[in-house]
Structure formats: C-alpha cells, structure tokens
Amino acid sequence: MDENTTDTPAIAPKRSLKRPLTITVANNKGGAGKSTITRYLSFNVALRGYKTLIIDEDPSANTTKSMIITKARHDEEPYTMGKTMMAGVRDGSLTDLVVPIIPNLYLIPSHIDFASLPVYLSKQYGVAEPGDPDYQDVEGHKVAVIKNLLEPLKKDFDFIFIDTPPTTSSDFTRSAVFASDYVIIAFQTQADSFDGAIQFIDGDLSELVHVFKANTDVLGVLPNQFAPGGTIDETVLNDARQRFGKQNLFEHILPYKKRVQSAPRIGITREGYWNSDLFKTAIDPLTDDFFHRLDLVGELND
C-alpha cells in the first residue's frame, strides 16, 4: 500500500461516554513520552468514532506541527495560522481556534507566543509563594484559567486531550491538570523520568487536589519506551510496580518504537508497513487499555 494513501481503518464498536472527559498526560520532566502518547492516543480514539480535541499547551508547538502534517495527508486545502492560543487566552475564548484534522479529530494549535502564559498569569493575578496569605487566592485563579476556557467547548467533544511542554515552569502542567477529569502519569523506563513521575504526584498533583480542590484523578501510570531485556528498564519497571502498585499501571507497557520519531516529518497515519506495525503492537493495545480503565472507573455507558 502506498505510504501516502488515506487512513481508512474500520471503526470499532463504540460505547458512549457518560460525560465529556478531559485528559492530560503528565510528568514533571521532559522525555517522558507525554506528547507521543497524546498524539497517538487521541488519533486512535478519533478513529474509533469519538469526537476528540487536542489542546496544544506547548509553545514549541511540536504536536501542532505533526497534526497539521496529518491534516495535509487527508485535506487538500492548505492550513493557514489564524489566531494563536495565547491570543485566545487573552480574549477569554478558545472557541474560534478549533482546527479540523481528520474526521472526529480537532486541534487548538499552539505557537511560540504561548511561552508568555506564566508572565500573563502573573500580570493578571499577581505572584505569591506557598505560605503567603494570598497564595491560595492567587494560584487558584491561575490554575483555573484553562479549565474556564474549556467549559464552553466540552459539550461539543467526547474527549479533550491536553499536551504540555517539557518545562520547569509548572503553570502549563498545573493549569492542564486542574482542567482535567483524569491524568495519565507517563514515564520513560529510566530513573530520571520515573523520579519525575513521583515528583509530579507528590508535588503538583497533591497540591492541586488537596489545596485547590481539583476534581481530577489518576487514570493510571503508563511506563513507555520500554526496552525488554534492558537492565535499567527492568529495574525501573519493578520499582514502579512497588511504588504505585501493579494494579495502577497500564496493563500494556508501551515498548520502544523508533517509528514514533517519524510523526513530526510525516504526520500520524496507520498506512504503510511500519506505521501499521506500530499501531497493531503498541497503539491499539494502549487504546484498548485506556477504554478498559475508563470502564473500570464507570465512565462508559453499557
């Protein structure tokens, strides 16, 4: 089959959601597989018949770039950049930023100007540190910005997936997680990435839930880029099972797949031998596991 043909997979039987769901894949460190998981999972969920929106909160806009290339594979009409997400935040509305990618899959694109989000939030709401008397009020307004902007969009989608940048600034991740119904904790099976997952849970996630009353929960912990037989990979995976509990890890551990590196160049597609192999051995089982976990927590209708 020609590499540039259109994806036409059969859509699996669909169970409807009890409510629209917002999902963020999270870790406090870069290189955790967050963007890769967000791109491929949202793409595959859309192919299964669910209306899906990706919010790209990464100023480097890598997910935006790969999705625009994906769009070009299916749509002859060229994409032109309109209002940026940062402009939408300033205007108080994201509704006119939605870009169709393929049937059922949509994107709110990012741009380099989104790097100014932390400065914008500080100018709007001030700066406070833990222990300051106004900390909860100041930070409460900051973390709620994206959640408030997404509320008018939720009725139009089954799923909203939020991609966040590999940055030490937590405003991006905190605002995404606060807006989410569930988070997937992702980590590469290496020590630094595993430590980042622990830091995220013990730090940002714990504070968002207990101090700011975020209505979010962990859907599961997802090890990825796993190399079978690798001493470090096996050790980190065992450490994760002991730390989080085996039942809290996704059943399907994402293996290392070189093919995912092609997404920024060719977009995302199931077509072609290597792409088909990637979906069959990694992305389809991950998607099945994702829906199984949603079923366990009671989010799917019978």
Pair of tokens at residue 262: 């092609």
The pLDDT tens digits of the residues spanning 175-209 come to: 999 999 999 998 877 778 888 888 889 888 999 99
Cβ-defined contacts of 89-92 (< 8 Å, 24+):
89/117, 89/120, 89/145, 89/149, 90/120, 92/149
* Whole-angstrom distance, CA of residue 198 vs CA of residue 212: 20
pTM for this structure?
Answer: 0.90
Mean pLDDT of 48-70: 92
The pLDDT tens digits of the residues spanning 136-174 come to: 999 999 999 999 999 999 999 999 999 988 765 588 999
DSSP per position, 23-88: EEEE-SSSSSSHHHHHHHHHHHHHHTT--EEEEE--TT-HHHHHHHHHHHHH--SPP---S-HHHH
- Residue 109: name the closest of 122, 90, 94 by CA: 94
Q: In what order do the strands lie in the sheet with 105-108?
A: 99-102, 105-108, 52-56, 159-163, 21-26, 182-188, 217-224
- Radius of gyration of the CA atoms of the chain, in A: 19
Binned at pLDDT 50, 70 and 90, residue 3 comes out as: very low
* Whole-angstrom distance, CA of residue 277 vs CA of residue 257: 10
Instruction: Look at residue 263 in the predicted model and tell me its pLDDT.
Output: 67
